Amino acid sequence: MKSPYIFKHLQPAIQNEEKKPAIFLFHGLGSNEEDLLQLIEPFRSQCHIFSLRGPITHSPGYAFYTFEEEGKPTREIFDKMIVLTKQFIEEAIEHFHLDEKRLFVIGFNQGAVVAQTLAVVLAEKIRGTAVLSGFLPQFVKTDYRKVLLESSRIFISHGEYDYDYPIRWAEESKDFFIELGAEVTYKTYLDGHGVTPENLQDLITFITEDLVETIN
């Protein structure tokens, strides 16, 4: 692939001629491409897994974008990153012969912001989007191209005591995607800014049901 992204790619254990589904992972601020792999262990046998490293160094790891303050990404940098990420997914589809009807994006923290934005800009290609403790920037809601998302499923989860990203940001994302016609699953947990065991199980259930539905 020609993309400038550094990433980890895990091929499905089951190899045959048919096109395979794929999951794209986006880590949180200060983390790296190894961080979210444990979340999708149940899907290793049937899916391509692409875990991308944020292009910006942010100790002790990396970031996908800079920001003026929490909830306000630096617009110029964010826009460029989304273009590169969109190109990465489109190139991966062609290079690895992915099943375009079974593409999923999962993100936590900054990665959840990226995942939600990709659900908007790649509306026709992203089947399922899982958002763990994130938000959708205001300029994405107002300035990015918006189309109906009637074939998209969105899983939004958030801690009720999240003081990094207020829960109202998740509620606003939920309302935005419902308005665009997406099928939205919205879950909250007695937690702060993290992923509880219950949250993880709900995520696995969401992806599992989606894979089964698209196969059938």
Question: Mean pLDDT score of the chain, rounded to an integer?
Answer: 94
Residue with token string 């593409």? 103
The tokens for 130 are 């899982």
Percent of the chain with pLDDT over 70: 97
Q: What is the mean pLDDT of residues 105-115?
A: 98
Lowest-confidence segment of 18-32, 67-81, 169-183, 202-216 by average pLDDT:
202-216
Condensed to tens digits (0 to 9), the pLDDT of residues 35-81 reads: 999 999 999 989 999 999 999 999 999 999 999 888 999 999 999 99
pLDDT of the residue at 119: 97
pLDDT of the residue at 2: 87
pLDDT of the residue at 13: 84
212 pLDDT tier (thresholds 50, 70, 90): low
Phi, psi of 52 (to 5 degrees): -95, 145
Q: Give the closest residue to 106 by CA, choosing from 199, 203, 208, 30.
A: 203
Residue 214 has pLDDT above 60, yes or no: no
15 pLDDT tier (thresholds 50, 70, 90): confident
For residues 76 and 87, give the distance between their C-alpha atoms in angstroms, rounded to a whole number.
Answer: 17
Phi, psi of 7 (to 5 degrees): -155, 160
Condensed to tens digits (0 to 9), the pLDDT of residues 171-200 reads: 999 999 999 999 999 999 999 999 999 999
Could you tell me if 165 and 158 are in contact, meaning their C-beta atoms sit under 8 angstroms apart?
A: yes
Q: CATH for 7-211, among 1.10.10.10, 3.30.450.20, 3.40.50.1820, 3.40.50.300?
A: 3.40.50.1820
For residues 103 and 101, give the distance between their C-alpha atoms in angstroms, rounded to a whole number.
Answer: 6
pLDDT of the residue at 213: 47
The tokens for 167 are 């829960």
DSSP 8-state secondary structure symbol assigned to residue 193: S
For residues 193 and 162, give the distance between their C-alpha atoms in angstroms, rounded to a whole number.
Answer: 5
